[in-house]
Amino acid sequence: MFAPGEGWSYHGSNYLVLGLIVERATGLPLRDALRQYILAPLGLQSTDLVEGPLLGKDRARGYLPGDNPLLPGDGPVDVTELDLASFTWAGGGVVSTAGEVATMLHALLGGQVLPDRLREEMLQAVDSDWAETDRYGLGIGEITAIWRRERSPCGPAWGHLGFSMGYMALALSSEDGERQVVLCANGAFATEETEEAFFDAAGRLMWQLYCM
């Protein structure tokens, strides 16, 4: 614990509180508010706050290795139909596609979602001891290396790394919203060696694409 302004920590519960605030302010369920004020205006047809299993158009299936401690099985374990999104709600219950995540980052960083003063406040980041980010703002991080690996040859990016059971996403954007690169994978690591190899390869690929 620390006094306001004296430290930094990531908590999914903050997003649950934000979801409740949105519902109180708009008088709408969070899913409807997201559709009305963000998703529909941006034309995001494959992005939604899910209430149930992650099935539907454009949805990738999620897998765990067979020797995982949660749901062990023979070979890859398909976890797509587990209703996990309902538990995370505003703290991680939105599903999307790589293309629409890129569209959202383009709009958010390009000033189409927030007025200038709120966009500026969102990017007022503080130093982070998190392996995923160098600095963290309001719901978005400044990243110069993917998981503390190869550093960007063209300056920092803004975005987030996200993980769920059977899924992961790495999404980056330039601060002006002009460039995005998004990598989604529908699986989990079976060993530390595969995790190391994935992030080594992902870092090189994403910086090559981002810095083009």
pLDDT of residue 53: 58
CATH architecture for the domain at 61-84+94-210: 3-Layer(aba) Sandwich (3.40)
How far CA 158 is from CA of 11, 25, 99, 148, 180, in Å, comes to: 19, 28, 17, 15, 9
Q: Which residue has the higher pLDDT, 34 or 88?
A: 34
Q: How confident is the model at residue 119 (pLDDT cuts 50, 70, 90)?
A: very high
Judge whether residue 106 has pLDDT over 90.
yes
For the segment 75-104, the average pLDDT, to the nearest whole number, is 85
Averaged pLDDT, 178-205 = 90
Q: Rounded CA gap, 190 and 140, in Å?
A: 28
Find the mean pLDDT for residues 150-167: 91
How many angstroms from the chain centroid is the CA of residue 135?
Answer: 16
Checking if the pLDDT of 9 tops 70, the result is yes
State the pLDDT at residue 66.
Answer: 86
**What band does 54 get if pLDDT is binned at 50, 70 and 90?**
low
pLDDT of residue 211: 94
End-to-end CA distance of the chain: 42
pLDDT in tens, 58-80: 678 889 888 888 888 888 898 88
Question: What's the pLDDT at 101?
Answer: 96
Question: What percentage of the chain has pLDDT greater than the value 70?
Answer: 95
For residue 3, what pLDDT is reported?
83
Give start and end residues of each alpha helix (H) in 83-177.
85-88, 98-109, 116-122
Distance from chain centroid for Cα 15: 13
Band of residue 182 on the pLDDT scale cut at 50, 70, 90? very high
Residue 209, Cβ density class (10 Å: 0-12 exposed, 13-18 middle, ≥19 buried): middle
pLDDT of residue 86: 65
Q: Give 132's pLDDT tier (boundaries 50, 70, 90).
A: confident
Q: What is the pLDDT of residue 105?
A: 98
- pLDDT value of residue 62: 87
Residues facing residue 77 across a β-bridge: 64
| Residue 53 identity | P
- Largest CA-CA distance found in the chain, in angstroms, rounded: 53
In 27-154, where does DSSP find H-type helix? Answer: 30-34, 85-88, 98-109, 116-122
